[in-house]
A and B are shown apart, each in its own frame.
Chain A
């Protein structure tokens, strides 16, 4: 199985500042035949299910604000939230979908400083 490891486990960022969350996969999730990274990011607020933010490592889901961006390739990925807003307080997860079984990172808890 591909192991997904996120860092940090938690972080506190001031309103309006940038938050950066990292995700590393134990093997590549870049599929050479289509040059796509099979990597998604989710946001989960308390008492709610995860919400898809980004897929293909950098494609925003419809309706997701453009302050959320994803980058990276191969085994190393980053979720960046530019201009942090109060409603962005949540736990963020990366997930690979390169091949079953699909696995998630352990989550990064984002708080306001």
Chain B
């Protein structure tokens, strides 16, 4: 079955850029939307944005100026970049698969999550 795995640094300095990659295994990245979400004690679960395998994106407005989500279909991977991070960006970051069709805003498969701490 399809599995997702996040990878990337667990510690990022303030003002720098957070970079994470999600590798999709057991299935193709094609024909689906793929999302990044995060979870922190202070803000709960927050959707960051999604990307279609063709490259089209949609971002959560409060983060839009700092977020870039990209896809590499040849590697079955998609990535997150979040610039100018502060302590408020400390969270567990999840990648997830969006459901197909009209329910594409729900998330049926999640990665295990990776903790990212912003600290000097």
Contact = CB atoms under 8 A, between A and B. Distances in A.
A49 B112 contact: yes
Interface residues of A, number: 26
A77 B2 CA distance: 30
Interface stretch (B71-79, B81-89, B98-106): B98-106
Assign chain B's interface to a size class: 20 to 34
Contacts of B105: 38, 96-100, 102
A101 B58 CA distance: 9
B54 to A, nearest CB: 17
A40 interface: yes
A106 B44 contact: yes
Contact of B107 (A38, A52, A100): A52
Nearest to A93: B45
A106 B105 CA distance: 18
Main secondary structure of the interface of A (DSSP, over half): loop
Contacts of A51: 110
Contacts of A99: 105
A40 B45 CA distance: 14
A72 interface: no
Nearest to B95: A49
A95 B61 CA distance: 17
A60 interface: no
